Structure 1
């Protein structure tokens, strides 16, 4: 597993993975959306001689107390309230200069009133103030919309047409029977933006067996889609710990399947 310790390496890698490629390269894409009180140390290493595919993490914040040696930590500017923006610049520069960070995330579900709650123009103005200064120092992610945010994202991209946006994070939540809807959602954003896509939250609603069957199809789709650069299943957060056994740190069967299924397979480590 190739690991980069500086932003130059990350920028070089991202540049080489153009979404116009005719074939997907086998680079690990899996990550963890993990609140700091949720243990994630056992997602690294190997399981039955299969290396972990997890190589990045984030926590809906701009700093963390549980950086893992096997994962790049990606800071997020969750929203524009003062308690986010006041610490943003110092934290982002710290992780770029000292923590091996090569990517930054912006604004969590701004189309929703109970989340970042920004109009497309407000988000574009905030982007220019808080994200644009990091151009050339890290790869920059657009605001992360859920699967109700297509129109919002389209309007944001028009309002921020001069912004330096390297990739587009999205979310998806729906029933486990709608895996084809998940694929269509991802592909629609790839077509809309012409940029690499990260799926920074996604979860199929259903039993553990239902979610396992969903991942058997979703993981190969994501790994083999050259537009998709990274993804993180929603299962290491305060309100969803389905990737952990009894709240961790041990992994559940679903967690083992997610972390240790070989690249391009969702069947688990055999």
Structure 2
């Protein structure tokens, strides 16, 4: 890229999701569009890096499966970003292949799967010998087999809270080792909560499970906008500390999306999140670069050993088990899906 030029590269990925967030609660089979914007800028000839990365987080698996539409790239003259976008780790350094144990969570492997379609998840899990756990943005697994299921309280609305206690009781009975708090409250397109509100809601709904399972802080995006991403997490931790011991969390839950060219920023995000979390372990529960299948496969070959070796990272799951992503059909893994399953 040319020095003294401002280059803005925006890739917009449109994703369909159930129209349940933000109070738009229509019939369960309706969908609402979801967008993620990548903005990459270079100034004065410096190396390009994402000023903000897109992110895609989903409603629970109990809702209709989301379908993906093609991404269309465009250029803009000004940066206008809209992002839709703890227990200590005992992980040991990994070898060039294979997976380490899931740190303080005690999984057989720290690698996991996120899914909406449980049949696809079960198929993928059968091929992923290095996967130890899974989740689906919901509090019920829908029939996940062979993996430790982690229930999620997507937000604090009755649609989710009314069945949360019963589903958590079942998950704990089945051996669930952790419970996830709200899904991206830093994101207006997801749980959409202020840090103060989210801390109080976390106390109400998650604290009763302290000591029964590891409790995650609300998940965050890697947005660079004010009061999103890591900045939101810092504020949430501060609000949680004001509430004292009743606001309990064992690890912080983070998401990351960007172009494959800037894949190294994943580790910057993990480090910043670890610091914001007060040194508690990190779970990377959504991550995916954009690029060709070959480029993503090559990136995963390099990234997975680093994730396995990262001492404060207790668990990670690639986004996601779905056709057109980690799978090409109901029975076949994609090229990078095969890497994720076998590396």
* Common fold by TM > 0.5: yes
Q: 1:74 to 1:241 in 2, by over 3 A?
A: farther
Residue among 294, 310, 328 paired with 1:245: 328
Paired residues of 2:219 and 2:252 also in contact (CA < 8 A): yes
- Which residue of structure 1 aligns with residue 105 of structure 2? none
2:255 matched to which residue of 1?
A: 171
Deviations 1:134-173 (A, max 9, x none): 0110100000001021111000001011222111110000
Q: Measure how far apart 1:195 and its partner are.
A: 0.8
Gaps of 5+ in 1: 1-13, 262-270
- CA distance in structure 1 between the partners assigned to 2:280 and 2:160 by the alignment: 27
1:6-37 CA deviation, whole Å, 9 max, x = no partner? xxxxxxxx96xx34x69547312111110035
Shift in CA distance, 152/38, structure 1 to aligned 2, threshold 3 Å: farther
* Contact 2:124–2:321 (CA under 8 A) maintained in structure 1: no
Q: Which position in structure 2 is the counterpart of 1:95?
A: 171
Q: Does 1:133 align with 2:214?
A: no
* Cα RMSD after superposing both structures: 1.9
Distance, in Å, in 2 between the alignment partners of 1:23 and 1:188 is 21
- After superposing on structure 2, the runs of 4+ consecutive aligned residues of structure 1 that deviate more than 4 Å are none
Inter-partner Cα distance in structure 2 for 1:138 and 1:23: 22
Q: Structure 1 residues 22 and 31 mapped into 2: Cα distance closer, same or farther (>3 Å)?
A: closer
Paired residue for 1:7? none
Bigger radius of gyration among the two: 2
SS of corresponding position for 2:216: strand
Kept after mapping to 2: 8 A contact 1:40/1:249? no
Tell me how many residue pairs correspond in the alignment.
236
Task: Give the TM-score taking structure 2 as reference length.
Answer: 0.65
CA distance in 2, matches of 1:150, 1:190: 10
Q: Is the CA contact 1:111–1:118 (under 8 Å) kept in the aligned structure 2?
A: yes
Decide which structure has greater helix share: 1
